[in-house]
Structure 1
Amino acid sequence: MKKLSLLLLLTLTFACKEKPKEEPTEEPEMSITSTEKESEWTVLFDGTSWDGWHVYSGREIEEAWSLQDGAMLLNKITEARKDGERFNMVTDKEYTNFVLSIEWMVNSGANSGIMWGVVEDEKYNEPYITGPEIQVLDNTSHPDAKNGTTHQAGALYDMVSPTQDVVKPVGEWNHYLITVNHDTNVGNVVLNGTKITEFPVNGEAWDAMVAKSKFATWEVFGKSKTGKIVLQDHGEPIVIGYRNIKIKEL
Structure 2
Amino acid sequence: MKRFSLLLLAVGCLLASSCSSPTPTIAAGQPQLGLQAWTFRNLTLVETLGQAHTLGIRYLQAYPGQTLGGGLTGKFHHTMDAAALKEILALALAKDVTITSYGIITPKDAAEWTVLFAFAQAAGLQEIVTEAKPDMLTAIAPTVAKTSLKISLHNHPAPSFYAQPQTALTAIAKLGDRFGLCADTGHWARTGLEPVAALQLAAGHINSLHFKDIAERGKRSRDLPWGTGTSNVAGQLAELRRQGFQGIAYIEYEHISPALFAEVERCVTFFRSAGAVSTNDLTRGLIAPAGYNLDVHAALASDRSRDSARWPAPQPLFAADLSNADMRTGAWAFSAEGVLAPTRPAEAKANGDLWTKESYGDFILTLEFRAQKKSNSGVFIRTTDIVQWLHNSIEVQILQGDEVKPVHLVGAVYDIAAPARVVPIVPGEWNRYVITAKGKSLRVMLNGEVVNKVNLDEWTTAGFNPDGTANKFKTAYKDMARAGRVGLQDHGGQVEFRNLFIERL
| TM-score where L is the length of structure 1 | 0.70
RMSD: 3.2
Kindly name which structure, 1 or 2, has the bigger radius of gyration based on alpha carbons: 2
User: What per-residue deviation string (whole Å, max 9, x for no partner) do you get for residues 162-196 of structure 1?
Assistant: 112334411111000111111xx211101000001
The structure, 1 or 2, with the larger RCO (C-alpha pairs under 8 Å, 6+ apart) is: 1
CA distance in 1, matches of 2:389, 2:444: 20
Instruction: Using the aligned pairs only, state the percent identity.
Output: 23
CA contact (8 A) 1:159 1:210 kept: no
- Work out which of the residue numbers 284, 296, 299 in structure 2 matches 1:25: 284
- Match in the other structure for 1:147: 404
CA distance in 2, matches of 1:206, 1:86: 32
Q: Relative to total residues, which structure has the larger helix share, 1 or 2? A: 2
CA contact (8 A) 1:167 1:191 kept: no
What amino acid is the match of 1:72?
A: L
CA distance in 1, matches of 2:357, 2:392: 16
Shift in Å, 1:126: 3.8
- Work out which of the residue numbers 430, 433, 441 in structure 2 matches 1:186: 441
- Match in the other structure for 2:365: 100
CA distance in 2, matches of 1:231, 1:190: 17
CA distance in 2, matches of 1:137, 1:41: 26
The 1:172/1:38 distance shift into structure 2, 3 A limit, reads same
The 1:66/1:160 distance shift into structure 2, 3 A limit, reads same
Q: Relative to total residues, which structure has the larger strand share, 1 or 2? A: 1
The 1:22/1:208 distance shift into structure 2, 3 A limit, reads closer
Alignment of 1:1-250 (within 5 A): 24-26=283-285, 39-45=312-318, 48-55=320-327, 59-60=328-329, 62=330, 64-68=331-335, 69-77=337-345, 82=349, 86-120=351-385, 125-139=387-401, 145-182=402-439, 185-201=440-456, 203=457, 205-208=458-461, 211-212=464-465, 213-216=470-473, 218-219=474-475, 223-234=480-491, 236=492, 238-250=493-505
Counterpart of 2:334 in 1: which secondary structure?
strand
Deviating beyond 3 angstroms after TM superposition, the runs of 4 or more aligned structure 1 residues are: 25-33, 35-40, 219-222
CA contact (8 A) 2:462 2:476 kept: no
CA distance in 2, matches of 1:167, 1:45: 28
CA distance in 1, matches of 2:476, 2:422: 31
What amino acid is the match of 1:45?
A: F
The 1:52/1:36 distance shift into structure 2, 3 A limit, reads farther
CA distance in 2, matches of 1:130, 1:100: 19
CA distance in 2, matches of 1:158, 1:130: 14
Structure 1 unmatched ranges of 5 or more: 1-20, 140-144
CA distance in 2, matches of 1:224, 1:96: 9
Shift in Å, 1:75: 4.6
Counterpart of 2:396 in 1: which secondary structure?
strand
Shift in Å, 1:220: 8.1
Counterpart of 2:499 in 1: which secondary structure?
strand
Give the paired residue count: 205
Counterpart of 1:128 in 2: which secondary structure?
helix
Structure 2 unmatched ranges of 5 or more: 1-279, 298-307
CA contact (8 A) 1:127 1:230 kept: no
The 1:97/1:23 distance shift into structure 2, 3 A limit, reads closer
